[in-house]
Structure 1
Amino acid sequence: MNPLRRNRVHIRRNLELITDRNPAETAPERLGLAPDATQTIHSAFVDLYRTGLHPGLQLCIRRRGEILYDRAIGYAAGVAGDDPLHGARREMHRNTPVCLFSASKAITAMLVHKCAEDGLIDLDATVTDTIPEYGQRGKQHTTVRHLLAHQAGIPRIPLPRPDPSLLWDWDRAIATLCAAKPLHGAGEQQAYHAITAGFILGELVQRASGMPLNDYLARHFAEPLGMENFTYGMPRERQHEAARNAYTGGPLPMPLRVLARRVLGADFDRVPAIANSPEFMSAVIPAGNLYATAEEATRFFEMLRAGGVYKGRRLLAPETIARAVAPVSGIRLDRSLMLPVRFSMGMFLGESPFGLYGPHSREAYGHLGFMNIVCWADPSREIAGALINTGKTLAPTALMRFLQLMNTIGRTIPRDAPDAARLDRVA
């Protein structure tokens, strides 16, 4: 049997029966696009679903602040994976909350930048200015900037086989990281911090603001943006609403299996089940468990794209956003991901001629979440987008269709001419 046929979702013949479309989608012609733009994007979106590797998908794209595309397809639970507590089949809807995994880091980073804007945190100050106990075993020179840029030397939890329970024990996680010996000096290397830096950044926000992290998030972003979800974790009484995650596709080959364990701190195929647990869903994990819909994620990134303003209300200063998305260096080989990556203080940055956010996307910024989730803004195209899914896989077919969808979005929505010319000069 072909191992890549394992753990796939049966694809229904009539996908319209399991597609939820926003009736408020704006006609593409009104947004300066070709009449068939929406259908072109939808075809690529459906192609991704037809791989059978994503039980449920959501995609939302805003252009110039208006919703161009906002649809969900598939199932939120009950069609793939080992989920004994929530085995009933549920369709995926546009308002189904989904865990953003590492895309949560972008929101956590902007909370830190908001603290800096308000004078509560100095990004170039050492972490020990706010968390004195962090300065152990050579970490006394680590700055907030180093943490945001994945240059703090603590890319993974410093335990041989970390127990997942550490993720929902905030005090123990902070104490473990404060006592950790860094793998290198601050600023010496770039190595993606999958989970670790999020806890320290969250602790910085809490100590600097005097507020629990979810309360600070609600005050400055979730409530002004009118979010129904957008919290780290979910209340127990609402957890049944969330989409369930599923490991799909065949087993990883040995090199990828080792790399995934090093980055994630657990075997790749175990992470979806961990993420479905009530403990994970109840915890506050700044680097990995913010729950939102695709439409809500695009509200946040549209606010960033619009210079910090949403529906006439200013949430961030333009200077704050410019600082947050400015590259901290050129493209570098990341020592955790073993891929060339360009970071800002909190964001994955786009590239030209091709990058994570499609072709000629050097001005784009956002974040990836567990391989197939991506939330981003691309000022040169005047868009904010979010692709959210529940299938956790490294199957080549899924990755190829994911890249094809991002390429289709980038080619269907052209860059604004002045910005495009400026991008070409930068490139």
Structure 2
Amino acid sequence: MLDAAFSTLFRTIRVPRDLAGITTYDPAGEADAVDADMTRADVDAVWAGVENLYRTGIYPGISFCLRRHGKVLLNRAIGHSSGNGPGDAKDDEKIPMTPETPVCQYSASKAVTAMLIHLLVERGEIHLSDPISHYIPEFAAHGKDHVTVYQMISHHGGIPAPKPGSADTDILFDHDRFIHLVCELKPSSAGGRRMAYHAVTGGALMGEIVRRVTGSDIRTFLAENIQKPLGFRYFNYGVAEDDIPRVAKNYDTGPPLVYPVSRLARRALSVPWGEVVRISNDPRFLRAIIPAANLVATADEMARFFQMLLNDGELDGVRIFKPLTVRRALVPSDIMKFDGTMIVPMKYSAGLMLGASPLGLWGPYSERAFGHVGFMNILCWADPDRRIAASLQTTGKCLIGTHLVTLARLLMTIGRRCRTGTDFRHRQQNPFAAARMLDTMLRRFLLGA
């Protein structure tokens, strides 16, 4: 009875003791650990970290794919794509989460959108240093005529988000109306001067640039240049009508946000937290083209995409980008500093989120790692030092809670078990001391330990 009350109050899911019954994977599809320079214990430790993440009760469904040296070590799913979330009845049909379940990537979509822009640069059709107004003249309104493509995709564009309440959420489903809204925004800072995460504005503009330069919408451009050449089943903005029921349902989980955190979240997202979750389950959202937020893909597809970038633009004999294009996309746009929107330390390139040392977004000593996160706790990345490409897909959306400690431990486990072979002793006597220190700080803050 107490467990039920706790689950209702903190909006967590029912977690069975035996997770094997809700875990799906094909053993034949996973390589032997030794083939990727790991031990079975290493791989098992990583998966145990994923299981511990599920046990937090925050995520109704999780899918995870880990590749090393190009070998698939883990491609598994745990939980349910629908039917076992907060608000679902006990007798609701529980649809298993599988490695083939497509998931909305939210902001991880931005990494793909940015690489499509880099593809246009590679072909000489645009230049990153060009003002956006060169391609979208109406964007010049209110003094934005000098804001460049580069500044926008590196989150220095000066228009991080529309003011909360300035438009109804349905505007996201109308690309032309939303572009008009973005073009009419007044900059909060001069382009290039302030680093502030652009949740939806930058992606919309990049999609419009693709449309005006190529004559095709960005969905078609993605299909022709990445999705079809690499044989991806999903991996595009939205899904076909018949695939809408297959997409995993997102859930608003964990303790409800309270002021001032709720205000900060709304300022970054332009709408209340729960509304972001509700919108993502709306069939109109899954039919629309929203370059900043509605790429739909499996964990395997996202890991393969980042494997392709790790391979300097080639996967399974198919070249998507020239090596120079990938390397250009990974050049830092700034030093690590506090992001004006998210109020956390961040380091960006032209479209990707970069790692750092001694501790970064992608784990300990991850200064060469790159990827992108998605709302909330969707992580897709590659690490050249560890030769890994990974994707963690989650369907529970919770900003603050003890699950963050478990997530941090999972990233540290991946970093520790996927050894780099690099001697870090010249930097610090214990290469994971900083990570452990952060872990301790998080536990004290979140648990009062």
TM class, shorter-length: over 0.9
The answer to whether 1:318 aligns with 2:316 is no
Question: For structure 1, which segment, 140-149 or 75-84, has the greater mean C-alpha deviation from structure 2 after superposition?
Answer: 75-84
Q: Which residue is equivalent to 2:312? A: 307
Q: Which residue is equivalent to 2:24? A: 20
Q: Which residue is equivalent to 2:79? A: 74
3-state secondary structure, aligned to 1:57:
strand
Query: Which residue of 104, 110, 126 corresponds with 1:105?
Result: 110
The answer to whether 1:344 aligns with 2:356 is no
Q: Which residue is equivalent to 2:278? A: 273
After the TM superposition, which residues 168-247 of structure 1 pair with which residues of structure 2 at under 5 Å, given as runs?
168-247=173-252
Residue 271 of structure 1: how far off its partner (Å): 1.6
The answer to whether 1:6 aligns with 2:10 is yes
The answer to whether 1:62 aligns with 2:67 is yes
Task: Give CA-to-partner distance per residue, 1:61-98, whole Å, 9 cap, x none.
Answer: 111111011110000001114579xx632010000000
| Letter of the structure 2 residue corresponding to residue 217 of structure 1 | L
User: Any conservation in 2 of the 1:158–1:177 contact (CA below 8 Å)?
Assistant: no
| Letter of the structure 1 residue corresponding to residue 354 of structure 2 | L
Residue 399 of structure 1: how far off its partner (Å): 1.2
Task: Give CA-to-partner distance per residue, 1:233-266, whole Å, 9 cap, x none.
Answer: 1122210001000001111131210111011111
State the percentage of identical aligned residues.
39
Structure 2 distance, partners of 1:376, 1:4, is 34
Query: Which residue of 391, 403, 411 corresponds with 1:398?
Result: 403
Residue 22 of structure 1: how far off its partner (Å): 2.9
Query: Which residue of 239, 257, 269 corresponds with 1:252?
Result: 257
Residue 13 of structure 1: how far off its partner (Å): 2.2
User: Any conservation in 2 of the 1:127–1:134 contact (CA below 8 Å)?
Assistant: yes
Task: Give CA-to-partner distance per residue, 1:247-289, whole Å, 9 cap, x none.
Answer: 0111113121011101111111222111101111111111101
Task: Give CA-to-partner distance per residue, 1:349-406, whole Å, 9 cap, x none.
Answer: 0011111111100000000101300000100100100000100002321111111111
3-state secondary structure, aligned to 2:125:
coil
Change (3 A) 1:97 1:388: same
User: Any conservation in 2 of the 1:73–1:92 contact (CA below 8 Å)?
Assistant: yes
3-state secondary structure, aligned to 2:342:
coil
> Unaligned 5+ residue runs, structure 2?
429-449
Structure 1 distance, partners of 2:88, 2:279, is 10
Q: Which residue is equivalent to 2:431? A: none
- The count of residues paired between Structure 1 and Structure 2 equals 421
User: Any conservation in 1 of the 2:64–2:392 contact (CA below 8 Å)?
Assistant: yes
User: Any conservation in 1 of the 2:252–2:396 contact (CA below 8 Å)?
Assistant: yes
3-state secondary structure, aligned to 2:73:
strand
User: Any conservation in 1 of the 2:8–2:86 contact (CA below 8 Å)?
Assistant: no
Structure 2 distance, partners of 1:165, 1:358, is 37
Query: Which residue of 39, 42, 45 corresponds with 1:34?
Result: 39
Q: C-alpha root-mean-square deviation of aligned residues, in Å? A: 1.9
User: Any conservation in 1 of the 2:164–2:271 contact (CA below 8 Å)?
Assistant: no
Change (3 A) 1:152 1:68: same
3-state secondary structure, aligned to 1:137:
helix
User: Any conservation in 2 of the 1:81–1:245 contact (CA below 8 Å)?
Assistant: no
| Letter of the structure 2 residue corresponding to residue 28 of structure 1 | A
| Letter of the structure 1 residue corresponding to residue 278 of structure 2 | A
Residue 423 of structure 1: how far off its partner (Å): 9.9
| Letter of the structure 1 residue corresponding to residue 13 of structure 2 | V
Task: Give CA-to-partner distance per residue, 1:195-237, whole Å, 9 cap, x none.
Answer: 1110001101111122111111011111111100001011222
Change (3 A) 1:2 1:95: closer
User: Any conservation in 2 of the 1:363–1:423 contact (CA below 8 Å)?
Assistant: no
Query: Which residue of 26, 50, 55 corresponds with 1:50?
Result: 55
Residue 179 of structure 1: how far off its partner (Å): 1.2
Structure 2 distance, partners of 1:382, 1:416, is 11
Residue 158 of structure 1: how far off its partner (Å): 4.1
User: Any conservation in 1 of the 2:7–2:14 contact (CA below 8 Å)?
Assistant: no
3-state secondary structure, aligned to 1:72:
strand
Q: Which residue is equivalent to 2:268? A: 263
Change (3 A) 1:159 1:258: closer
3-state secondary structure, aligned to 2:385:
helix
Structure 2 distance, partners of 1:280, 1:219, is 22
3-state secondary structure, aligned to 1:135:
helix
3-state secondary structure, aligned to 1:104:
helix
| Letter of the structure 2 residue corresponding to residue 285 of structure 1 | I
3-state secondary structure, aligned to 2:63:
strand
User: Any conservation in 2 of the 1:158–1:180 contact (CA below 8 Å)?
Assistant: no
Change (3 A) 1:4 1:322: farther
User: Any conservation in 2 of the 1:31–1:64 contact (CA below 8 Å)?
Assistant: yes
Question: For structure 1, which segment, 378-387 or 391-400, has the greater mean C-alpha deviation from structure 2 after superposition?
Answer: 391-400
Structure 2 distance, partners of 1:206, 1:407, is 41
3-state secondary structure, aligned to 1:190:
coil
Question: For structure 1, which segment, 161-170 or 361-370, has the greater mean C-alpha deviation from structure 2 after superposition?
Answer: 161-170
